[in-house]
Amino acid sequence: MIKCDFHTHTILCDGENTACEMAEAAYKKGLSAFGFSGHGYTPFDDSYCMSQEDTNQYLTQIQKLKSEYAGKLEIFAGLEADLFSEYDRCRFDYIIGSVHYIKIGNNYIDVDNTSQILKYAADKYFGGDMLSLCEEYYKQIATLQNIDIVGHFDLVTKFCQQEDLFDMTCSRYRMSALSALDILIDKNLIFEVNTGAISRRARTTPYPEPFILKRILERGGQVILSGDAHNTAGICAHFDIAEQLLKSLGFKNVVTITKNGFSEVKL
Ligand SMILES: [Zn+2]
Ligand SMILES: [Zn+2]
């Protein structure tokens, strides 16, 4: 099994464990590399992200952990930036870019929270048409830039396994997802296979859906496994499910992060 995880959170954002506890757990689980990816500062919603001051503290803590674990565990300082986050890319080893909100006029719709919020937004802004909301989500995710890895590409499907929100198999939905995907593949970005929603019991399969993974493979795109761990138990959690899925689709490699940058390892 792949023993590295680069999508993890701490108490400095919405995680449950300290950076020390997360690093210790990663070491005890036998990981070879471990990356922190706290939520980047997003001015209109400070409930889940790190403030500018938290970010300084975060980087200081990680720097300390890097030397404490030198020779035992390779540690990286990443960031999970929202499309609307403010950050200085040079301060981080890598950036995961995620869309947790879609912007409609001056309003931000939280797509990661509850299905009620999505239904309310579909009614208010899209005449009740959830697929139009999805199209807007994909239009906005296609604009991600200044990042390395695309986080949970089809997050908008978060509640679809529990509720009949929209039909993920219909061609209108698939076309909007795939056209955004093609744009992001052309930007040479890496795509997460994110098991976080399995840990949080929202889904039984990782993001993204197999039809999206197939297109990434066909187009020669790259994927990386992500636990999106908000506590120590979430580190590399359900990677067996993700690996099995990738192998069944024909993937041979996944991306990892090394001191010399991104490289591929065999599945
Ligand atoms: Zn996220
Ligand atoms: Zn995350």
pLDDT mean over 41-68: 95
124 alpha carbon to ligand 2 midpoint, in Å?
A: 28
Measured in angstroms, how far is the CA atom of residue 126 from the centroid of ligand 1?
A: 24
pLDDT by residue (tens digit) across 82-122? 999 999 999 999 999 999 999 999 999 999 999 999 999 99
Quote the ligand 2 centre to 127 CA distance (angstroms): 30
Q: In the prediction, which pLDDT does 81 show?
A: 98
Amino acid making up residue 120: Y
Write down the pLDDT at residue 104: 97
d(CA 47, CA 75): 26
CA angle 173, 175, 179 (to 5 degrees): 125
Q: What is the mean pLDDT of the chain?
A: 97
Which ligand minimizes its atom distance to the CA of 10?
2
Ligand 2 centroid – CA 84 distance (Å): 15
User: Domain boundaries in the chain?
Assistant: 4-98+144-266
- Which SS3 state, helix, strand or coil, does residue 117 take? helix
Q: Which CATH class is domain 4-98+144-266?
A: alpha beta
Of 223, 222, 188, 221, nearest in space to 207 by CA: 223
Ligand nearest to the CA of 234: 2
Q: Mean pLDDT across the stretch 8-33? A: 98
From the CA of 37, the nearest ligand is: 2
CA–centroid distance, 221 to ligand 2, in Å, is 21
> What is the predicted pLDDT for the residue at 210?
98
- What per-residue confidence (pLDDT) applies to 46? 85
Q: Which residue in 253, 249, 242, 266 sits closest to 7, CA to CA? A: 242
Element holding 108 (H helix, E strand): strand 107-110
Nearest ligand for residue 207 CA: 1
Mean predicted confidence (pLDDT) in 16-26: 98
Q: Phi and psi (nearest 5°) for 42?
A: -125, 110
Q: What are the φ and ψ backbone dihedral angles of 68, each rounded to 5 degrees?
A: -60, -35
Can you give the pLDDT at residue 102?
97
- Which ligand is closest in space to the CA of residue 151? 1
Q: Residue 190 C-alpha to ligand 2 middle, in angstroms?
A: 15
Q: Is it the case that residue 256 has pLDDT exceeding 90?
A: yes
CA 170 to each of CA 176, 188, 257: distance values in angstroms, whole numbers, following the listed order = 10, 27, 36
